[in-house]
A and B are shown apart, each in its own frame.
Chain A
Amino acid sequence: MKLKQIIAATSLISAVATPAAAVDLQVSITNLTQGMHFTPRLLVAHEGSVDLFEAGQAASTPLAWIAEAGVIEDPANDQDFGTYLEDASRADNNAWRAFGGLLAPASTSSVYNFDTNNHPYLSLVSMLVPTNDAFVGLDSWRIPTTPGTYTIELNAYDAGTEANDEINPTRSNITEAGTGNALGGYGVPGMAAPGPTQPLLGTGGNGVAIQIDANNQLADDPSDREGSVHIHRNVLGDADSNGGVSDLDSRVHRWLNPVARITVVVPAQ
């Protein structure tokens, strides 16, 4: 893996220079993994005061909603990024859109036309499925003013909000300890696994970071969560589709960084 070197100019000089015109970026993303789908992409152009995530710090609730369940905006949900970014306290400091559906492994998205509304930084978040709380992210990339095509490689992060049990959520006989809730999604153990990801999932795994107990229940205790955002240590998987430790396949679902490449075209003004 190449060393990445990002020079982010925070000098005040840029603030007194001629402000950039409204910028319509053209963004596309390539899924570099062999076995992970990407949920719909959240793209945000923002001021320095907005930060979707920070490695080494706890994930926010909106980030956890994407990392655990792939949810960006839901009318019934006031804890997601759709609500957070529209809040009066910061709505003027960002422009955001959700792009696309599930992006399959080894595939490139269509081109997204994204109006940054003059905000200087670009961030992106999308969940890797099927996982517990893995996401691919771009954190506050300084949007160039020089027209051209820019390529950025992105890594997989662990949100640190859910233990990496690697359990298939369609196993209806396994429930959350204490509540009896079904697995998968936000705030419950088990991976999120949308339909297209299910054919390659196994069953019967006992659990990687935490194990199913004698009552067929999974207890995702807060002490089992890693607690802060960090580079994902990779899923484990196994080669036993009916048992073993994991319902992921070690030959299919693992990755090495970078997991995504995005291309950003800054148009001529």
Chain B
Amino acid sequence: MTHSNFKNLTRAGLVLSCGLLLSACSDNDSVATPAPAPDVEFEIQITNLTNAQPLSPPAIVIHEAGYHAFVDGQAASLGLEMLAEGGDNDQLLAEAVTESQYIAHVDIPAPIAPRAKSPVYNISVPQADLANAHVSLVSMLVRTNDAFSAIDGKSISGLQVNETMRLSAPVWDAGTEANSEATDTIPGPGLDGEGFNATRDDRIAVVRFHQGIVGNTKTEDGLTTSVLGEQHRFDNPSMRISITRVR
């Protein structure tokens, strides 16, 4: 399922608008009205490379250069904070749709299980928007305080039909929640700790590479107050993303 806002339809240009006004165009037999160019279509599939970290329903946004769902070294937006702390992508997508660079996004309801591939997601991009089309993708590692896996604005305009691009995504820390790993701070089924909390209490208040979780396994560096075990640890990359242009 894809969303294109009205602005994109008008950006497709005079050809489309002419096609919508059939009565005006058909009177002029000497000017051929070209059919509107079909949308470009992509298939996106995500592999969750972690051992035991579910990935929350990803926010996938197609956009022009200049939009950033996150910036390494800067404070997270409210939408990123809500996604990274609680796995809810609504606010981040709502923020993206209002940006001037927005082109389209995918509505995904389901998380991606650890060690598994997601379903194939389909997204369409109007032909006129292809030249400056980039993809950003953000998903929470659910058994963490505010870790997320993401890619920032990768260009997809150069993909030919039937060509596939493969990307790897590292794990980021949103900088909005302390990495206590405490029972009441880790969300998701079975633990059901708190997700989003508007108070920001991270030691470092900006987005940066995640340092990994410690876990409570009883070894010299086990964190006895952690609800996470050694199985929740992760290394980079955490996601592999495959993007294929199919039309």
Please provide the chain A residues from 22 to 79 with a CB less than 8 Å away from any CB of chain B in the complex.
55-57
B219 and A158 within 8 A (CB) = no
A55 and B168 within 8 A (CB) = no
Q: A7-B165, A229-B115 are in contact. Are A257 and B236 (CB under 8 A)?
A: yes
* A157 (CB) vs chain B CBs: closest residue: B49
Q: Does A155 contact B (CB under 8 A)?
A: yes
Q: Which residues of A contact B (CB under 8 A)?
A: 1, 3-12, 55-57, 155-156, 158, 160, 208-209, 226-234, 236-240, 244-246, 250, 256-257
B164 contact from A8, A55, A57, A239, Cβ within 8 A: A8
Count of A-B contacts with CB under 8 A? 113
- CB contacts (< 8 Å) of A233 on chain B: these are 50-52, 230-235
- CB contacts (< 8 Å) of A11 on chain B: these are 160-163
Extra inter-chain contacts (4) besides given A230-B50, A245-B217, CB under 8 Å? A3-B170, A56-B47, A208-B230, A245-B218
B165 and A5 within 8 A (CB) = yes
A230 and B164 within 8 A (CB) = no
A231 and B233 within 8 A (CB) = no
B51 and A8 within 8 A (CB) = no
CB distance from B139 to the nearest CB of A (A): 15
Q: Which residues of B contact A (CB under 8 A)?
A: 47-52, 114-117, 151, 154, 160-170, 209, 217-221, 230-238, 240
**14 A-B Cβ contacts within 8 A?**
A3-B237, A5-B165, A7-B163, A9-B160, A56-B117, A156-B235, A209-B230, A228-B116, A232-B51, A239-B220, A244-B219, A245-B218, A250-B219, A256-B235
* A8 (CB) vs chain B CBs: closest residue: B164
B163 and A10 within 8 A (CB) = yes
* B169 (CB) vs chain A CBs: closest residue: A3
CB distance from B151 to the nearest CB of A (A): 7
B168 and A234 within 8 A (CB) = no
- CB contacts (< 8 Å) of A250 on chain B: these are 219-221
CB distance from A41 to the nearest CB of B (A): 21
- CB contacts (< 8 Å) of A208 on chain B: these are 217, 230
- CB contacts (< 8 Å) of B168 on chain A: these are 3-5
B50 contact from A1, A4, A231, Cβ within 8 A: A231
- CB contacts (< 8 Å) of B51 on chain A: these are 158, 226, 230-233
CB distance from A232 to the nearest CB of B (A): 6
- Complexed CA–CA distance, A156 and B49 (Å): 11
- CB contacts (< 8 Å) of A246 on chain B: these are 219
- CB contacts (< 8 Å) of B48 on chain A: these are 56, 230
* A160 (CB) vs chain B CBs: closest residue: B115
- Complexed CA–CA distance, A239 and B220 (Å): 7
- Complexed CA–CA distance, A209 and B235 (Å): 17
- Complexed CA–CA distance, A154 and B49 (Å): 14
B220 and A257 within 8 A (CB) = no
B237 and A231 within 8 A (CB) = yes
- Complexed CA–CA distance, A36 and B199 (Å): 43
* A205 (CB) vs chain B CBs: closest residue: B219
B151 and A238 within 8 A (CB) = no
- Complexed CA–CA distance, A156 and B160 (Å): 31
- Complexed CA–CA distance, A226 and B50 (Å): 10
A231 and B238 within 8 A (CB) = yes
Q: A11-B160, A228-B115, A245-B217 are in contact. Are A55 and B234 (CB under 8 A)?
A: no
- Complexed CA–CA distance, A236 and B51 (Å): 14
A57 and B117 within 8 A (CB) = yes
